[in-house]
């Protein structure tokens, strides 16, 4: 056990920085043994600081201090002190020039923070607190400085030397070395600093901004990836155009660079002018990347680009405000993806993630508000709550204000705070000031953790032709709290008649009938609130929380027949899909109950008929249909349960799927044929994606049920596919089937074909590890000894250990407890190598609450084992200690 427990940092303790750094001049000497970093910082006392101190305290981790001087005079012992956490310079003046030289060892860094090596290249990751691993600094986002960076290195090994801003000078040096100098004209916090050095190729493009400025777009990759850049570059151009059109935001430097690196903890990083991407989130060509990878790349490229305004030009005051940049930027990238593709499908995907994973986080031991009030390790707070719920919160402001006022608000926000480090309150204030809409109550969304629950009650009075809707809200995290106050919830609502047509909504008799809206965003602000709608001639079916207008749980109020009606007739695409999910979930849940009680198992024929209706429908949008064909996932079914029985859920869900395969074989085969193109060139437009998704879902359903006609189709598709979507879909279908020899042979063929391509190998690994059939614990352990696996590479860890523990639930939760032990073993191993990855990986062990006592005890035992490890990182300590009961 650690002797001293890690310190908790509180928002309430925030104080302005006592010193500011106006200029930061950096000089890097990159060598094979290590790197020398010289810094020249123009420091001055902050006139606004609450706290005056005579000493300057800088952050620094694992640095070797070589020299230190102030205003050109070397400091002697006693004038400074080096500690575990940094450097204290004693008794400084109001303004001075601080010069430091430090030695670092990028080659030895396995945590992938600061300056490190990924294969043959040097690269950096400074968010959140990585810069302190490069040099002594005020490593906090409210210290913004102008950076000049000179990099020197061997010219043959590292012909490309990059940093933020514009290149201002380059030249050759002695001994085969060279240098490049970069200047970033924009003040920025050090978490946005970046450096890359390597033997990289560049693929170039150009963008002309709305005001006519030419911007060079340059993507740097290792030579073997030069044909995988096109999609990222076209996504970048589309993002630049979209941000001009929708937010009036132009790019501000002469060059925008993207670099792909193989070893990266997250998806990508928005460093000013020099975005660094995980290779798996940026490299694509049709024969190696699936449709979902294409869409993910489009979204992540946009996300990082949008940060240039929401994050870089206007940044966060402190890390408690992380959602200021992340929630807003996720909202922006989601809107972008919705505009580029199917809006309904994008919403379905986002809500699916929110309801399965974010809701679980929000009711788990690490639950925190969108603006947390404390943390031990900030890396643990790059969460679904900060990102996805944060985006929902911004989305609700958008819904409450409407398009035009929201744009006025964002214009005011960017104008008012350009060049500043601000808070989520500043964001809401700008929205309020620009719109005139009072958002005081709304702010509660930022401060309170947990998912609010809405109870819906409604009545129809035929005589009075009156429909009365009563909504009541509560939040589990504030239950019993004397101060429990309601949230301001935008509740989008409609009424449908028996033909599925929207009925005009008249709340006030004076309203002119013809102009009455057919959809309303209700301001639901009381604990219990009633809304009345007049002139409703026949009993309607209510359409609730359309488009999932707020991140809440709506207690299920519908009968199966009503859900069937909505599944066939809802005019809101999201709600139509959701009705199908609710109906399927309800049916699976009752089969699971019967399974647990040893009763006969039957699939409600209404579901089969509904699916038949969808499959034969000529009018339904294919993108929506492709989503409707997917049954609720096991993770979502677990999230819906009070106490989940994974065996029962797994069995019941499979039974429903197999019944659909059996009863709808003809329709599914037709769907497969009708959506198969032979010889067509690959296109990633959303219609083509929907058609591929449809046919591959049909194939998967049939083959999982053991259909031999589907086996023939899958084998044919596997060998003849001209794109990775179809090739991997065929492999997935085979791997999830009981055709053992075909499964093994397909896996071997696939690996032999693609073993040189890391992005495809990642897919190969995760396809096996997520399959209930092929991904048993033994098989997963065997894969960890395969040449394709490398525990130091986060993508490989995610594809094997992460995939198994998060998505192969029936095997991970095996009652032997071996799955839990396996995860704990690997968390312990990774704790030393890469604490961020270790602490993210541990999540499934913290979700015990949903399972029975026996499983909970097994999970807790593993958490205790982890906690008793020596030298536990802050990252793992925080998650595990908060999860122990
Ligand atoms: N800001 C990046 C994500 C990111 C966050 C933390 C990192 O290291 C701890 C790396 C990247 C984004 O939102 O894309
Ligand atoms: Zn981001």
Distance 256 CA to ligand 2 centre (A): 17
Helices (H) and strands (E) in the chain, counts: 29, 31
Q: Tell me the average pLDDT across 490-512.
A: 90
Ligand 1 centroid–CA 611 distance in Å is 41
Decide which of 1.10.390.10, 1.10.3720.10, 1.20.1050.10, 1.10.579.10 is the CATH code for 317-447.
1.10.390.10
Q: How many CB atoms lie within 10 A of CB 679?
A: 5
Does residue 304 have its Cβ closer than 6 Å to ligand 1? yes
Q: What is the CA(326)–ligand 2 centre distance, in A? A: 5
Closest CA to 43 of 68, 14, 23: 23
Residues 6+ apart with CB under 8 A from 846: 364, 365, 366, 859, 863, 879, 880, 883
* Contact call for residues 654 and 605 (beta carbons, < 8 A): no
* SS3 of residue 1 by DSSP: coil
pLDDT exceeds 80 at position 256 = yes
Distances (CA, A) of 805 to 251, 360, 700, 808, 827: 41, 15, 22, 6, 12
Mean pLDDT of the chain: 97
Mean pLDDT of 9-21: 98
At residue 510, the pLDDT reads: 62
Whether 1 has a pLDDT exceeding 60, the answer reads: no
CA of 276 to the centre of ligand 1 (A): 10
Q: Can you tell me the mean pLDDT for 28-35?
A: 98
Domains 317-447 and 456-550 share a fold: no
Q: Is the pLDDT of residue 845 over 80?
A: yes
Dump pLDDT digits (tens) for 747-765.
999 999 999 999 999 999 9
**Is 127 a pocket residue for ligand 1 (Cβ < 6 Å)?**
yes
Instruction: Please give the distance, rounded to the nearest whole angstrom, from the Cα atom of residue 206 to the centre of ligand 1.
Output: 26
- Tell me, what's the pLDDT at 2? 42
395-408 confidence digits (pLDDT tens): 999 999 999 999 99
Domain ranges of the chain: 18-198, 317-447, 456-550
Instruction: Find tokens 């809802």 and name the residue.
Output: 570
* pLDDT for 140: 98
Residue with tokens 């929207």: 502
DSSP for residue 546: G
Q: Is the CB of 266 under 6 A from ligand 1?
A: yes
> Which ligand minimizes its atom distance to the CA of 128?
1
Determine the distance separating the centroid of ligand 1 and the alpha carbon of 108, expressed in angstroms. Answer: 22
pLDDT > 70: what percent of the chain? Answer: 99
Q: Give the pLDDT band of residue 51 (cuts 50, 70, 90).
A: confident
pLDDT, position 512: 63
The verdict on the CB of residue 326 being under 6 Å from ligand 1 is: yes
270 lines ligand 1 (CB under 6 A): yes
Question: Active-site residue among 270, 304, 388, 639?
Answer: 304
Which residue's CA is minimally distant from atom 10 of ligand 1? 266
User: Relative to the CA of 300, which ligand 1 atom is closest?
Assistant: 14
3-state secondary structure of 319: helix
| Alpha-carbon separation of residue 35 from 38, 104, 156, 619 (angstroms) | 10, 5, 17, 63
Q: Is the CB of 242 under 6 A from ligand 1?
A: no
Nearest CA to ligand 1 atom 3: 269
Q: Which DSSP string do the residues of 200-260 spell out, in sequence order? A: -EEEEEEEE-TTS-EEEEEEEE-GGGGGG-HHHHHHHHHHHHHHHHHH-----SSEEEEEE
- The band of 480, judged by pLDDT with boundaries at 50, 70 and 90, is confident
Residue nearest to atom 7 of ligand 1 (CA): 127
Q: What is the pLDDT of residues 428-469, one digit of tens each?
A: 999 999 999 999 999 999 999 999 999 999 999 999 999 999
State which ligand 1 atom lies nearest to the alpha carbon of 329.
13
SS3 123: strand
Give the model's confidence band at 511: pLDDT under 50 very low, under 70 low, under 90 confident, else very high.
Answer: low
Q: Is the CB of 382 under 6 A from ligand 1?
A: yes
Over range 361-368, report the average pLDDT.
98
pLDDT of the residue at 680: 86
Shortest-distance Cα residue to atom 2 of ligand 1: 269
Is the CB of 379 within 6 Å of ligand 1? yes
pTM: predicted TM-score of the whole model, two decimal places = 0.98
Question: Which residue has its alpha carbon closest to ligand 1 atom 12?
Answer: 269
Mutation choice for ligand 1 from 114, 127, 128, 387, CB with most ligand atoms inside 8 A: 127
Active site residue 304: yes
Q: What is the mean pLDDT of residues 735-744?
A: 98
Name the residue of 192, 281, 382 to mutate for ligand 1: max ligand atoms within 8 A of Cβ.
Answer: 382
Does residue 864 register a pLDDT over 80?
Answer: yes
Query: Nearest C-alpha to atom 8 of ligand 1 is from which residue?
Result: 127
With 0-12 CB in 10 A as exposed, 13-18 as middle and 19+ as buried, what is 499? exposed
pLDDT reported for residue 484:
84
- For the Cβ of 123 lying below 6 angstroms from any atom of ligand 1, the answer is no
Residue 167 has pLDDT above 80, yes or no: yes
Q: Are 56 and 19 in contact (CB under 8 A)?
A: yes
Distance 238 CA to ligand 2 centre (A): 18
Q: Rounded mean pLDDT of 262-283?
A: 98
Q: Which atom of ligand 1 is nearest to the CA of 304?
A: 14
Q: 618: Cβ–Cβ under 8 A, 6 or more apart, which residues? A: none
CATH of the structural domain 456-550, one choice from 2.40.400.10, 3.30.450.40, 1.10.3720.10, 2.60.40.1840:
2.60.40.1840
**716-733: pLDDT as tens digits:** 999 999 999 999 999 999
Whether the per-residue pLDDT at 114 is higher than 70: the answer is: yes
**Domain 18-198 of CATH type 3.10.450.630:** no
Distance (Å, whole) CA 736 – CA 732: 6
Distance of CA 338 to the CA centre of its chain: 16
Q: What is the mean pLDDT of the segment spanning 643-654?
A: 98
């Amino acid at each position: 056990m650690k002797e001293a427990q890690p310190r908790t940092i509180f928002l309430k303790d925030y104080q302005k920085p006592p010193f500011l750094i106006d200029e930061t001049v950096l000089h890097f000497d990159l060598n094979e043994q290590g790197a020398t970093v010289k810094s020249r910082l123009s420091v001055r006392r902050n006139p606004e600081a609450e706290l005056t101190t005579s000493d300057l305290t800088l952050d620094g981790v694992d640095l070797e201090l070589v020299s230190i001087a102030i205003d050109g005079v070397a400091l002697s012992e006693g004038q400074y002190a080096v500690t575990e956490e940094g450097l204290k310079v004693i008794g400084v003046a109001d303004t001075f020039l601080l010069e430091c030289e430090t030695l670092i060892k990028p080659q030895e860094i396995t945590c992938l923070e600061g300056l490190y090596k990924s294969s043959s290249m040097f690269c950096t990751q400074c968010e959140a607190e990585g810069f302190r691993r490069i040099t002594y600094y005020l490593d906090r986002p409210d210290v913004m400085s102008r950076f000049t960076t000179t990099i020197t290195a061997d010219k043959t090994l590292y012909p490309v030397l990059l940093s933020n801003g514009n290149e201002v000078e380059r030249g050759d040096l002695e001994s085969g070395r060279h240098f490049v100098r970069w200047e970033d004209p924009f003040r920025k916090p050090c978490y946005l600093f970046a450096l890359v050095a390597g033997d990289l190729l560049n693929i170039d493009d150009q963008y002309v901004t709305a005001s006519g400025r030419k911007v060079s777009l340059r993507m740097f990759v290792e030579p073997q990836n030069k044909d995988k850049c096109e999609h990222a570059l076209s996504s970048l151009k589309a993002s630049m155009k979209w941000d001009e059109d929708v937010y009036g935001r132009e790019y501000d430097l002469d060059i925008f660079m993207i670099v792909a690196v193989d070893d990266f903890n997250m998806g990508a990083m928005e460093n000013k002018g020099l975005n660094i991407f995980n290779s798996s989130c940026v490299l694509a060509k049709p024969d190696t990347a699936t449709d979902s990878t294409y869409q993910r790349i489009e979204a992540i490229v946009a996300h990082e680009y949008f940060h240039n305004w929401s994050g870089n030009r206007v940044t966060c005051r402190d890390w408690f405000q992380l959602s200021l940049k992340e929630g807003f930027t996720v909202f922006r990238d989601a809107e972008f993806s919705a505009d580029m593709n199917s809006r309904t499908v994008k919403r379905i995907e986002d809500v699916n993630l929110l309801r399965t994973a974010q809701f679980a986080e929000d009711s788990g031991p690490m639950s925190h508000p969108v603006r947390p009030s404390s943390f031990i390790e900030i890396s643990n707070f790059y969460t679904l709550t900060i990102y996805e719920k944060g985006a929902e919160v911004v989305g609700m402001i958008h819904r409450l204000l409407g398009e035009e006022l929201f744009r006025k608000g964002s214009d005011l926000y960017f104008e008012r705070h350009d060049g500043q480090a601000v808070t989520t309150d500043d964001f809401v204030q700008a929205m309020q000031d620009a719109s005139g809409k009072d958002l005081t109550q709304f702010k509660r969304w930022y401060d309170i953790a947990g998912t609010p629950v809405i109870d819906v009650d409604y009545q129809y009075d035929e005589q009075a032709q009156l429909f009365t809707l009563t909504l009541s809200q509560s939040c589990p995290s504030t239950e019993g709290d004397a101060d429990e106050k309601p949230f301001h919830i935008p509740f989008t609502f409609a009424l449908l008649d028996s033909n599925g047509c929207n009925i005009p909504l008249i709340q006030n008799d004076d309203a002119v009938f013809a102009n009455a809206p057919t959809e309303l965003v209700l301001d639901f602000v009381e604990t219990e609130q009633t809304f009345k709608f007049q002139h409703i001639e026949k009993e309607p079916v209510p359409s609730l929380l359309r488009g999932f207008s707020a991140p809440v749980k709506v207690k299920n109020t519908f009968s199966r027949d009503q859900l069937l009606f909505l599944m066939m007739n809802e005019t809101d695409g999201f709600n139509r899909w959701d009705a199908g999910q609710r109906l399927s979930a309800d049916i699976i849940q009752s089969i699971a109950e019967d399974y647990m009680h040893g009763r006969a198992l039957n699939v409600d024929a209404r579901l089969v008929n509904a699916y038949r209706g969808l499959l034969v429908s000529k009018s339904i949008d294919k993108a929506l249909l492709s989503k409707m064909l997917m049954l609720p996932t096991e993770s979502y079914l677990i999230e819906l349960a009070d106490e989940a029985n994974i065996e029962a859920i797994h069995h019941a869900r499979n039974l429903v799927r197999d019944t659909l395969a059996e009863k709808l074989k003809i329709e599914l085969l037709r769907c497969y044929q009708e959506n198969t193109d032979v010889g067509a060139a690959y296109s990633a437009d959303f219609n083509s994606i929907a058609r591929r998704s449809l046919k591959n879902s049909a194939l998967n359903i049939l083959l999982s049920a053991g259909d031999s006609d589907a086996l023939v189709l899958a084998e044919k598709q596997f060998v003849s596919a001209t794109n990775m979507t179809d090739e991997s879909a065929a492999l997935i279908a085979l791997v999830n089937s009981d055709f053992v020899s075909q499964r093994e042979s397909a896996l071997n063929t696939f690996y032999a074909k693609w073993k040189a391509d890391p992005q495809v190998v990642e897919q190969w690994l995760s396809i096996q590890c997520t399959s209930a059939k092929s991904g048993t614990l033994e098989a997963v352990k065997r894969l960890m000894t395969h040449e394709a696996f490398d525990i130091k590479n986060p993508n490989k860890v995610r594809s094997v250990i992460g995939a198994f523990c998060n998505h192969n639930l029936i095997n991970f939760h095996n009652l032997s407890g071996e799955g839990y032990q396996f995860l704990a073993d690997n968390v312990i191993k990774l704790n030393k190598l890469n604490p961020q990855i270790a602490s993210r990986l541990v999540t499934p062990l913290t979700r015990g609450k949903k399972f029975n006592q026996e499983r909970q005890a097994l999970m807790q035992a593993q958490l205790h084992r982890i906690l008793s490890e020596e030298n536990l990182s802050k990252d793992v300590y925080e998650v595990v200690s908060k999860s122990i009961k």
